[in-house]
Every structure is written in structure tokens, then in C-alpha cells.
Amino acid sequence: MRRLLLMVAAICILSLDSGWGKSDAPYVQTKTTFQTSREWTPGCDIRADAAMIYGIGGDPCDDGRGNATFEQRADTWAERGYQTHFMTGLAWGEYKDYYTGLWDGKKHFDESQMQRDEDRIMHGLMIPYFVPTLSYIEYLKTHIARVIDYGITEIFLEEPEFWARGGYSEAFKREWQDYYGAPWQAQHESPGSAYLSNKLKYHLYYRAIDKVSSYAKEYGLRKGLDVHIYIPTHSLINYSQWAIVSPEASLASLPGIDGYIAQVWTNTAKEPGFYEGVQREMVFEQAFMEYGCMQSMTAPTGRKMFFLTDPVEDKRRDWAEYKRNYEATFAAQLMYPLIDSYEVMPWPNRIYERKYRKSPDSDEWDYIPADYATQMQVMINSLNDMPLSENKVSGSHGISVLLSNSLMFQRFPTFEGYDDPFLSNLMGQVWPLLKRGVPVGTVHMENLGYPEALKDTRVLLMSYSNMKPMEEVMHRQLADWVKGGGIIIYSGRDDDPYQAVQEWWNSGAQQFDRPSDHLFWLMGIPGGPKEGVYKYGKGRICILRQDPKEYVLKDHGYDRYLETVEKMYSSLGKRLEYKNSFILERGCFDVVAVMDGPCLRLEGDYIDLFDCNLPVVHGMDVAPASQKLLVNLSRIDRNRPCILASATRASDVVSRPGSFSYTAKGPVRITNRSRVCLPSKPSSVLVNGRESYEESRWDSPSGTYLLEFPADPEGTAVRFIW
């Protein structure tokens, strides 16, 4: 396995320094990437594998951008050895020429997403969120053609988003007539109208992605290029929380999609939730569920997934908060050992070149603190070496919660008789278990047709209090799974106003008052059953007549729910393990997260990668509500020289008897610290040919040397001799 990892690392290094970038480059599997609207600068040379160049006209929200064309911007990164990819927005972007009519001579103001008060939903000045009409789709194709003509083969179509509060523009009304064959209905008039409105929004971006991705593939083939299409998107959980509609899991059925970026970061993970009757932020826990949601969405399809983190966020906060939440989301993403590709950051210029508050109570603004900058680069470089692993995060496995895209359909507008604060009807099933160290998984109803969708699930948590099944076949797939030995714990009063929307379960031959009644009927259970456990084949369904939000909106509202989960899990011959932490081993790395409760004591020798000084630690306590990324020195081959942690990226690595050398590159104004494992105490450490050996930097017990020098994008030559 170690030899394989070294081969992968070598390929990544070769791709970075070979000058590959455009149409003359062979396709290289990308492990790390980032998005930028700017040209290369020495301060943003973060040394990921690839740079996603944003927009033909750049990022319209980037006030500091220059006038360079897309091609000129891409060239500057390719010349520095980066693979160059293309990213553009699906819902919004630098599309003023389309909006104002310069593109085709027709103004498209009526294609803005619009609220009930007739206010257009805007991302910035003259930057609307679009209703993706067929005309708009044709316009997007011109951008795709241009970047393919340049030689780009990796295209990222970002954020297909339709705000649930939209749905009042003239363009949307026309799309309603075409789709439903009936006059438009205002979504605020009834739950049925709202459901239909959001279902149409979902369809429109599904259609847009289908047509644009198909065009990109076909156009690429005509040019002799194999084009790959990826969708950077927030998680279904976050879009539901923020009342945004997007195709999400249904994209798995599109042949033109090659992968995704899970856009999970501080902004999404800070979304508060209710737990034990208190509204609170649970950043690590929220991020853990969002990343898991994205992995399960794509895992059955075998498509590529990148995980995103952001060292800052969209809102102006302070550096201390950014650092704390970055560590939480960073650790959460690493808890999924079957993902090893990452967008290491968006917009490096806003991280390195923008001022934020020094601390929460400070009125002083400053650039990124030196210690945080070094730590951040160490963390980013660890992703270049992060291996896949067959290990699992610690805890009792086999419990998953069921999701559907229709989670997004009931969030806005709200109606009397329905309230779901902070998506508590979903998260109420999750928080009581996750807080006790149970790694709850997710299953998407849209993926139930894949055999892999439920293969690791023994107990499935579900509710129709905040979502509805979009197709009858989904119920048949669930019933077959229970018949084969699966267990469902169904929570719900089934009395929300969306139960009666005009859908498949109450239309034509199907005449069920509630969608759950159809599922129960398939398993031989009469409609509207009382609480209890019902057998079906080799499996069972346990019905609890409470909405899941009731488990978390008051203190200890989850007691009976947890008793039920424990009982159902123990019926499988397993004991449900409770704790307040998660630990995962990935190669030489240990990823640790502690939630509420006592400190977690770790024994052993480690390098702490969340400490910019890269100390060697002999045992440590991990505090509550904190996380760690550690190099476990017990899993290091001390006889072979290697870089264990570094704020710069190494290339031209040469290991010979008695010496070890490489070239280190990184952004200017960053202090590089590296901890290097050596088979013997060095007699000489040369940095750009200058002797730099210091006795105090050698740690004999660990066999490591701590090296420090200013990072340089032009490269720093390092050589150890022993």
C-alpha cells in the first residue's frame, strides 16, 4: 500500500511541475484543486494539482479582478505547472451580456428568479439568479465551447440553485405552463402549489445540467477531446436548510456527469440546529453529516467526489473563529476514508490578500496571522498525501437516515400546521445518536435502485414529516429490503399539510391518504397503524408516532427514541456503543474529533498538524468540541527518509544512501515549517546551498528534524546529509 501511495504522490508531483495544462496535456487524475478568478500571483501559489479558472469574465463579485481574458488567466497558471480547469456558475455569473440583451439583442430581465413582492433575487449588481430557460442554456453553451476550444477538458458547472422563495417571474410562469400544461399557481396559496412550484424548479436545473453537459461532451468529441463534467454543489442537507432547490441526487441518472464537489465549509456547517431544547451551532457534527450526505449520494454510482473546505468563509468574521471552524470542517471531511480528492480552498486571494478582524472583540483588521498561514499550508499539503483507507471511523456502524430530494420542497413558504425549525424533522433523528459517537450514515431514496445503496445499512431511520417519496418504486425497493432482513424505524405523526399534495400515492389507482400508508400496505400493514413493531419477511418496521423534531426541541425528548434504536440494533446481535468522540486511522494519519463531554486521552507519539510549530507530542488530551489531525509516529518507517509534514510542497525528491534532497515550493510571505524523518541524525542541512543545521531542531526519539525557512514559489533547494 505504501508503494502505491508513493507512486500516486509521484504522479501528482510530475503533473504539477511538468507544465501540463491545456490541450497538449495527457489527462491526469486530479487529487487537489482550488478555484480562482485571478491570474497567478506569488502570494497565491498554493501548489495544489489544479487551478479551476472561474468564469469567462471572471467572478463578478471579485472587485479586485483585472481585465485579463479567461485564456490569459489560465495561461499564467499553466505556465507554473498547474493543470488548468474551468468553473462557471449555473445559476449566476458574469452574464451581463445575456441579461441586458447584448448577446442576442433581447433583454432577459424577466428571467431573474423573483419573489412574491416582485423583487428580483440577485447575487450582486446586475447579477441575477436565473430561471434556466432554453435561451439561457444556449448562452451557457457558448462559454463551454470557448473553453473547450482553448483546450480545457475538465469543466465544473457550479451551484444549480433555484431559491424556494422564487417562482414569481414571467419566465417561470411560462415554464410552468409548458411543464404542467396548466396556468401558473402562486406557491403561497397552498401546500400543493408550493410543492408543484419547487418540483418545477428542481426539474429546470436538472434539464439545464443535462443539456449543457451533453453539449460539452459532444462538442469535445468533435474537437478530439474527452471532456469531463463535474457539479460543485452544496449538500442536500444544506440546500434544505437554506430553502434552495437543486437536482442533487437525481444527477446520478445523468450520463454526462463525471463527478461532484461537495461544497461544505464554515458557512454551511455553522447552520444552527436544536438539540436538547437549545438552539446551537454544531460545526463538526453538521459538517460530518453534510460530507456523508454527499458521499452517499455518489458512492453507488462510482463517480468522482471532491470534498471542499475553506480556511475563511463568505461572511466577514475574525481569524480566531475562522481557524476554529476550519479545523472542525477539515477533520470532518477526513472521516470519510473512501474520498481522497479535495478542493483545498476557494478564492486564495481572499484568504491571503484580504483583512479580517484579529479577534471577536477587536476593531482591528489585519491579514492572515503568520501562524495560521503556516498551519493552513501544512493542512493543505497533508491532503496531497492523504491516502484512501479501508478503515472505518470508530463507533457502531449500520445505522443510516433516509433522505429524499423532496426535503427541499417543504421549506418555503410555510403554512399553518407545519413547522420544521432548522430541519429538525431530519436532524432530530441524527443528533441524539451522533452526539453519542454513533457515525450515522445517509441513504438517498433516489439511489435505492442501486444494490450498493443499502448494503452497509442494517437499521434505517426515516420520516415523512418533512419529505415525501417522489416515485412509487422507491417504496417497493424499501419493502424488498425489509423483507430481506432490514429494519426501519419510522417516526412521524403524518399530519403535516403536505401529506395531501396531489401526487402518485393519491392519484389514479393509488388512493392513500398518506404516502406512508402505501409503504405499510406493501408490507401487509393496515393504513394509519398505531405505534409498534411489525414484522415483514425477515425484517421489521418499528413505528413511532412522534415527529422527529420532538426528539430535540426539548431536553431529553429523545429518550424513548434512543431506547427504540438500541433495542432494534441489539436484535441484530450487536450492542450500540456510546462515546463522545470519533477516531479514524488513514495511513500514517490519525483524525480525531471530540464532541460534548470529557477530554479524550491519546497515548503514543504524534506530530500535531493543527499546531504550526509541528511539535512531537508524547501523549495528549483532546479537549471537548475540538479536533486533531496527527501523524502517528508508530506507523512511520524510521529507516526511510520522508517529509512527514510541511507548509511547502516537495518535488524533485531524491533519496540516496546518506542523503535526502528535494525542492520545496510555496506562496511568498509564508513561513515554511517541515518535519522530516531521517534514518540518522543529520550532519548537514543545506537550504539553497547554505548550511542551516541547528542541533536543537533534531528530535532524537522520533528521528525527525524541524526545518524552517521562508517559502518561495520559485523553489527552495533542501538537502540533508548524514
Under the banding of pLDDT at 50, 70 and 90, the label for residue 25 is very low
CA distance 382 to 423: 34
Angle between helices 191-222 and 134-150 (to 10 degrees): 30
* 654 burial level (CB within 10 Å; 0-12, 13-18, 19+): exposed
CATH code at 399-570: 3.40.50.880
Backbone φ, ψ for residue 3 (5° rounding)? -65, -40
Q: Which residues pair with 51 in a beta bridge?
A: 34, 84
Q: What is the pLDDT of residues 679-704, one digit of tens each?
A: 999 999 999 999 999 999 999 999 99
CA distance 303 to 293: 14
CA distance 408 to 680: 59
Amino acid at 206: Y
Whether residue 554 has pLDDT greater than 60 = yes
How high is the pLDDT of residue 417?
81
* Mean pLDDT, the chain, whole residue set: 94
Under the banding of pLDDT at 50, 70 and 90, the label for residue 316 is confident
Are 182 and 264 within 8 A, CB to CB? Answer: no
* 526 burial level (CB within 10 Å; 0-12, 13-18, 19+): exposed
DSSP character at residue 249 = G
Q: Worst-scoring range by mean pLDDT, 11-20, 423-432, 522-531?
A: 11-20
Helix (H, G, I), strand (E, B) or coil at 591: strand
How much is the pTM? 0.94
**Of all residues in the chain, what percent carry a pLDDT higher than 70?**
95
Maximal CA-CA distance, the chain:
84
Strand 356-357 versus strand 342-346 pairing type: unpaired
Under the banding of pLDDT at 50, 70 and 90, the label for residue 66 is low
Under the banding of pLDDT at 50, 70 and 90, the label for residue 301 is confident
How high is the pLDDT of residue 62?
67
CA distance 204 to 132: 6
CA distance 560 to 88: 48
